[in-house]
């Protein structure tokens, strides 16, 4: 667990990195690419669209370092994140043309905050953290049968993390400061789906990225099952693991490093039309 003396400073910024998150990540998104395969059977049309809001129950382990603060160990569960959550929203959208070429976008945003007394210097500290993780990918269907398909994809995962610290009534006076960083990671990956029955399906996704261009390396694995209620609506339950190792290479107040693994269940509802 985090050092209790540091937790008041580091808990919100660490919790924000889920990916939801968990982007991912692109932290952290439900892969619902198999949500509506049967739609094109009943209607011969060029385009298929999927929209899927979702929720990630994130758990985070690793280390993080912000500004002149020391490197901090991370071990945070879903309960810690929900305790500090002010606002969050996660949504996935995909378009597929002629069952061959496509694109998807995944956006996850969270705003966390907490307020605690400062024992060493007196006063009170309020910490707010905002994190946006957005993925945008182009896809190509390599293989398709009556019950299965396999896609490759490539694109980027954008991270934007901001930390706002407001201190009042301390022996050092009152002040407000903002720290953070943002970066793009190139990503390549593969995903697939297989229909077990006309209702149940299995799906999986894996990708790697970073390659030293932004983060040193990042990878993502997720998989699970889907259930179709009808030709439009389906539900999906997966487990996702997202890793990122990022260091902006700076010193002083602009220094930022984030080396974590975020993992947890992903629950989503998808509409296909």
CA-to-CA separations, 48 to 11, 129, 188, in angstroms, rounded: 41, 36, 23
Structure confidence at residue 1 (pLDDT): 40
| Other CB atoms within 10 A of residue 20 CB | 34
Q: Specify the pLDDT at position 45.
A: 79
Task: Kindly report, residue by residue over 67-108, the tens digit of the pLDDT.
Answer: 777 787 878 788 877 888 888 889 999 999 999 999 999 998
Give the Cα separation of 233 and 127 in Å (integer).
Answer: 40
DSSP string, 75-100: EE-HHHHHHHEEEEEEEEEEEEETTT
pLDDT tens digits along 239-256: 999 999 999 999 888 898
What separation in angstroms does the CA of 237 have from each of 35, 205, 240, 272? 12, 13, 10, 17
The span from the CA of 103 to the CA of 193, in Å, is 16
First to last CA, the chain: 45
Residue 162 confidence (pLDDT): 81
- Which tens digits make up the pLDDT trace of 133-142? 899 999 999 9
CATH of the domain at 30: 2.40.128
Q: Is 261 helix (H, G, I), strand (E, B) or coil?
A: strand
CA–CA distance, 194 with 77 (Å, rounded to integer): 32
Please give the tally of structural domains in the chain: 1
What predicted TM-score, i.e. pTM, was given to this entire model?
0.79
* Residue 56, domain extent: 4-272
């Amino acid at each position: 667990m985090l050092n209790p003396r540091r937790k008041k400073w580091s808990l919100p910024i660490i919790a924000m990195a889920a990916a939801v998150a968990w982007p991912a990540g692109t932290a952290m998104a439900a892969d619902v690419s198999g949500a509506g395969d049967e739609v094109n059977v009943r209607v011969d049309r060029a385009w298929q669209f999927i929209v899927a809001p979702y929720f990630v129950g994130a758990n985070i382990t690793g280390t993080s370092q912000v500004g002149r603060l020391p490197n901090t160990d991370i071990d945070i569960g879903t309960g810690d994140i929900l305790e500090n959550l002010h606002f969050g929203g996660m949504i996935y959208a995909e378009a597929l043309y002629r069952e061959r070429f496509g694109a998807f976008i995944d956006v996850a945003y969270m705003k966390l905050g907490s307020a605690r007394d400062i024992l060493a210097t007196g006063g009170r500290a309020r910490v707010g953290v905002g994190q946006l993780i957005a993925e945008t990918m182009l896809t190509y269907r390599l293989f398709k049968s009556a019950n299965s398909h396999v896609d490759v994809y490539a694109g980027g995962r954008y991270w934007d993390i901001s930390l706002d610290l407001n201190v009042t009534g301390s022996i050092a006076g009152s002040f407000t400061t903002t720290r953070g960083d943002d970066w793009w990671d190139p990503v390549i990956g593969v995903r697939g789906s297989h229909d077990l029955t006309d209702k149940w399906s299995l799906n999986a996704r894996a990708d790697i990225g970073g390659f030293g261009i932004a983060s040193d390396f990042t990878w993502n694995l997720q998989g699970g099952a889907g259930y179709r209620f009808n030709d439009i609506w389906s539900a999906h339950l997966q487990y996702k693991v997202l890793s990122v190792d990022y260091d902006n290479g700076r010193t002083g107040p602009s220094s930022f490093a984030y080396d974590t693994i975020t993992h947890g269940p992903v629950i989503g509802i998808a509409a296909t039309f």
